[in-house]
Amino acid sequence: MTQIYNFSAGPAVLPKEVLQQASNEMLDWHGSGMSVMEMSHRGKEFISIANEAEADLRELMNIPANYKVLFLQGGAHAQFSMIPMNLLRGKDTADYLDTGIWAQKAIEEAARYCKVNVVASGKDHQYFRVPQQSQWKLNPDAAYVHYTSNETIGGLEVFWTPQTGHVPLVVDMSSHILSRPVDVSQFGLIYAGAQKNIGPAGLTIVIVREDLIGQTIAGTPTMFDYKIHADNGSMYNTPPTYGIYMAGLVFKWLKAKGGLAAVEKLNIEKAALLYDYFDSSDFYNSPIAEENRSRMNVPFTLKDSALDAEFLKQAEANGLLQLKGHRLLGGMRASIYNAMPIEGVQALVAFMQDFARTRG
Ligand code: PMP
């Protein structure tokens, strides 16, 4: 097989070992004679797969017992509406931090259900920097405070945890969940689509403090009620069974690597290879403020954007795929999630050096 490195923002690269195991077990899972895809979600085989996936996630993230772990569908987009529907709990306003495109999508959707107070916006810094909490205007009557801890398109990451007192903190961790340890007890709710650091698209994970659920707004569809899913062990309806199985394999892979602290060390090393190179080069540039440089999604530009197409063409010829920046921002973006081996980042830097040498 040709060696390629896939820098897609998501769906994204998965660990080779996980894909290999899934391939080995494709036709016959553990002597059951069935593929996981063919199993009843209520059969003992699949129940054991789902239970083990949840237990491994709880162990990896050190999730306290008073938090529910939900395996849902609908992507992070469905969470943009489920959050106000479930967490307003009689209030009519919620706080949101505007860090860029994904935060704005969450804000737009929440505004259908409540008054949104934007506590601060990165707009004044062209979204190259996340406003410090000292600049936020929090509303003590807000039902919750929402932020996006990693802007996948903008390439901004928030490495500190906002302090919101008694107001529950809600976070979209779609693009950096499991890339470093986080203190779950600081959050009311954490959500993430699977297709970056967890597994294939189709699964959405929600981790929610149990006292926050069960008070949906009138008219909430049953499928959008966290309590329904929590009370039914995420099996109120047919869950995305294969996605849960794959996520479970990824969790085991992360545990075998030494857990999230070990994974974080590697992620720091990988990201530094790129950012250090940009800082030493006058051919490439990272526009992001140093304290917010994402370890997962690394946007960059070439000195001369007329060379973009040639850069992408040659990168692809060298097996370095999906480096084109998001259509809204242009430029380049290298997504280097947990499953991107350091060799992939080294190969990218070597290619960039070579390109700069011949075109610079
Ligand atoms: N939030 C963030 C930070 C994302 O990166 C994405 C997807 N790229 C979403 C939300 C939306 O996820 P989905 O497409 O699964 O609804």
| Pocket perturbation via mutation, ligand 1, pick of 71, 82, 98, 102 by most ligand atoms within 8 A of CB | 102
Q: Is residue 274 part of a domain?
A: yes
Minimal-distance CA residue to ligand 1 atom 11: 76
Please list the pLDDT of the chain residue by residue as tens digits (360 residues): 789 999 999 999 999 999 999 999 999 999 999 999 999 999 999 999 999 999 999 999 999 999 999 999 999 999 999 999 999 999 999 999 999 999 999 999 999 999 999 999 999 899 999 999 999 999 999 999 999 999 999 999 999 999 999 999 999 999 999 999 999 999 999 999 999 999 999 999 999 999 999 999 999 999 999 999 999 999 999 999 999 999 999 999 999 999 999 999 999 999 999 999 999 999 999 999 999 999 999 999 999 999 999 999 999 999 999 999 988 888 999 999 999 999 999 999 999 999 999 987
How much is the pLDDT for 327? 84
**Which pLDDT does position 166 carry in this prediction?**
96
Contact 9, 335 (CB under 8 A): yes
Which ligand 1 atom sits closest to the C-alpha of 153? 5
Cis status, amide bond into 240, omega within 30 of 0:
no
Q: Compute the distance between CA of residue 147 and CA of residue 124 in angstroms, rounded to an integer.
A: 17
Residue list, ligand 1 pocket, CB within 6 Å: 10, 75-77, 102, 148, 152, 172, 174-175, 193
pLDDT value, residue 2: 82
Name which of 270, 254, 233 is nearest 71 in CA terms. Answer: 233
The DSSP 8-state label assigned to residue 227 in this structure reads H
Q: How far apart are CA 322 and CA 299, in angstroms?
A: 12
Q: How far apart are CA 152 and CA 156, in angstroms?
A: 7
φ, ψ dihedrals at 309, nearest 5°: -65, -40
Residue 261 pLDDT: 98
The last residue of a domain, from among 238, 256, 274:
256
- Closest atom, ligand 1, to C-alpha of 79: 16
Residues 266 and 252 in one domain: no
Q: How many whole angstroms from 360 Cα to the centroid of ligand 1?
A: 35
Indicate the burial class of 52 (C-beta count within 10 angstroms; 0-12, 13-18, 19 or more): middle
Q: Residues in the chain, how many? A: 360
Q: Are residues 333 and 191 in the same domain?
A: no
Q: Which of 229, 256, 283 is the last residue of a domain?
A: 256
How far, in Å, is the centroid of ligand 1 from the Cα of 31?
36
Atom of ligand 1 nearest to the CA of 194: 15
Contact 68, 210 (CB under 8 A): yes
Shortest-distance Cα residue to atom 9 of ligand 1: 76
Tokens at 11, concatenated:
């769906």
Same domain, 80 and 62: yes
Residue 11: inside a domain: no
pLDDT value of position 90: 97
Structural domains of the chain, count: 2
Tell me, what CATH number does 108's domain have?
3.40.640.10
Which residues are part of the catalytic machinery? 102, 172, 196
Q: For residue 329, what is the domain's CATH number? A: 3.90.1150.10
Other CB atoms closer than 10 Å to residue 78's CB: what's the count?
18
CA–CA distance, 306 with 315 (Å, rounded to integer): 15
Instruction: Give the list of residues 6+ apart from residue 313 with CB closer than 8 angstroms, or none.
Output: none
Q: Which domain holds residue 83?
A: 17-256
Contacts of 266 (CB under 8 A, 6+ apart): 257, 342
Tell me if residue 324 falls in helix, strand or coil: strand
Q: Which of 152, 170, 178, 197 to mutate to test the pocket of ligand 1 (most atoms within 8 A of CB)?
A: 152
CA of 155 to the centre of ligand 1 (A): 13
